[in-house]
Structure 1
Amino acid sequence: MGNTMQNRVALVTGGSRGIGAAVALRLAADGHDVAITFQRNTSRADEIVERIRQSGRRAVAFQADSADPDAVVAAVNGAAAAFGRLDILVNNAALFLAGPIDQVGPDDLDRTVAVNIRAPFVAAQAAVRHLTAGGRIINIGSNVAVRAAFPGFALYSMSKTALVGLTKALGRELGPRAITVNLVHPGATDTEMNPADGPMAGTINEVTALGHYADPADIAAVVAFLASPDACYVTGAAINADGGFTA
């Protein structure tokens, strides 16, 4: 890949922690300048920005609640303005709400749809105005969109399943422009929201072929491949990076 990866610009939504932070750091290590969005924690976003800069790449963070479409669009346009271009959009920011369907309120439904479905759509809509040939849109889904193994996941599974349709349709639409669109379905990943020593870990490990949680860097490696020139002929695809949970 060499210099073909240099001086490209990526925006990672929800890039201050968990999988998003790992993706941002990996893309920087691969030679990209990186913008991230974050919701509230300025100090954590600043830490990721500093780590990227220490690696020799440029970085910037935008505070944006993904439930606010104007903020999402502003972050996309801000990233392109800050670096003079935009090559890669990683739609990672998401909201996880679980519980029996008869306990899901209308506010839960509306916010989940806003963050997990509307935000990736409007981010992609804004990004395509900047992306050129070789551009990438990479959506982060979930293994529970493929296999709803546990009760109480109807709302979250529905929201992540919507990304399948978005990915396929955009892959078809943007193919003539040599812009690829792909989807990564992570399995259980060791983050603050779902720690590898949490109360569900034992059960999840039992139904995962590899028998353990992913490290965020494992998911970032799949995203990095899709962002690279090596994935130039992959589009409209959904890749399960779930340790065999859906096998």
Structure 2
Amino acid sequence: MSIFPLSGKAFLVTGGAKRIGAAIVKALHGAGASSILHYRDSAQEATDLALSLCWNRPDSIKLIRADLLDSAALATLVESAAQAFGRLDGLVNNASSFYPTPLGQIDANAWDDLVGSNLKAPLFLSQAAWPHLKESGGAIVNIVDINAERPLAGFSTYCAAKAGLLCLTRALATEMGPQVRVNGVSPGAIEWPSDNLFDAQVKAHMIEATPLKRIGDPTDIARTVLFLLADAPYITGQILAVDGGRSAHL
């Protein structure tokens, strides 16, 4: 792979201001790409990241704020992204809501939020991006989750949404080929949530169930996304697990 394999190309990354999304934006930038960084509430983080990356390559990052639960805004988001650099070569569906919904306490708001961000938005963003990606011969990468196939107790709504995204990835690959490739990356434990969602015992159990005996880093996911976008012309319809081997051990 060349030093700047994505030079001259442009990618839309949803939820690109923090954590895995920010790592993906940085990896694409390092490969020569320009990015449209979508965010909802993380304006300061998005601005800081854009400024740091544009310091070395001016005007290489554009920011777009949008609520992905507003279905009517999704096509506009994609059109704005395509206009930002005059082309669209890829879409990374990374934005995601994640929190528990214990059985007996699930309500319509949690359903709308978790399914909306993790499944509905990726579908409608992909549909809107399809004409642009056909023109550029581009690709889509969906950030799935180990729990799409290995459900986590207490998170049934989230797991169901990610399971839908897993199947959607394969369905879109079938329908969008041959011009557009669609793949997924399925993270395991990658950087603990900042809200102390998991206690020490749960964290220790997850690490023990992982053959590599450690959690991953957002850059592990970013490198895999970069591979799928830049150096995998004969890979489509696949879900690549980046989980330290945990899905093989559970």
Q: TM class, shorter-chain normalised?
A: over 0.9
Q: CA deviation at 1:176?
A: 2.3
* Percent of residue pairs bearing the same amino acid type: 36
Q: Match of 2:154? A: 152
Query: Number of residues paired by the alignment?
Result: 244
1:103 offset after TM fit, Å?
A: 1.1
**C-alpha distance in 1, partners of 2:87/2:114?**
30
Distance 2:141 2:196 in 1: 24
The alpha carbon displacement at 1:161 in A equals 0.5
User: How much does 1:71 deviate?
Assistant: 2.7
Q: Which amino acid aligns with 2:126?
A: A
Distance 1:69 1:24 in 2: 24
Choose which of 71, 75, 78 in structure 1 pairs with 2:77: 75
Using the alignment, how far apart are the partners of 2:46 and 2:95 within structure 1? 13
Which runs of structure 2 are paired with 1:129-208 in the superposition (5 Å)? 129-131=131-133, 132-148=135-151, 150-177=152-179, 179-193=180-194, 199=200, 200-208=202-210
Aligned counterparts of 1:165 and 1:127: Cα–Cα separation in 2: 19
Q: CA RMSD in A?
A: 1.8
1:65 partner SS: coil
State how far apart, in whole Å, the 1-side matches of 2:72 and 2:194 are.
Answer: 26
Q: 1:5: which partner in 2?
A: 6
Asked if structure 2 preserves the Cα contact closer than 8 Å seen for 1:22 and 1:217, the reply is yes
- Unaligned 5+ segments in structure 2 are none
Query: Using the alignment, how far apart are the partners of 1:116 and 1:10 within structure 2?
Result: 19
Change (3 A) 1:239 1:194: farther
Shift of 1:146: 1.9
1:126 pairs, out of 118, 125, 128, with: 128
Q: Which residue of 1 aligns with 2:234?
A: 233
Paired residue type of 2:52: R
CA–CA distance in 1 between the matches of 2:164 and 2:16?
21
**Cα distance, 1:37 vs. partner?**
0.8
Any conservation in 2 of the 1:28–1:55 contact (CA below 8 Å)? no
Aligned to 1:243: 244
Q: Which runs of 5+ in 1 are unaligned?
A: none
Counterpart secondary structure, 2:177:
helix
Deviation readout 1:6-49 (Å, 9 max, x if unpaired): 11101100000010010011000011000111111211110111
CA distance in 2, matches of 1:68, 1:193: 26
Match of 2:224 in 1: 222
What CA distance in whole angstroms lies between the structure 1 residues aligned with 2:8 and 2:238?
26
- The 1:122/1:212 distance shift into structure 2, 3 A limit, reads same
Q: TM-score, normalized by length of structure 2?
A: 0.92
CA distance in structure 1 between the aligned counterparts of 2:130 and 2:243, rounded to whole angstroms? 29
TM value normalised by structure 1: 0.93
Q: Secondary structure at the match of 1:129?
A: helix
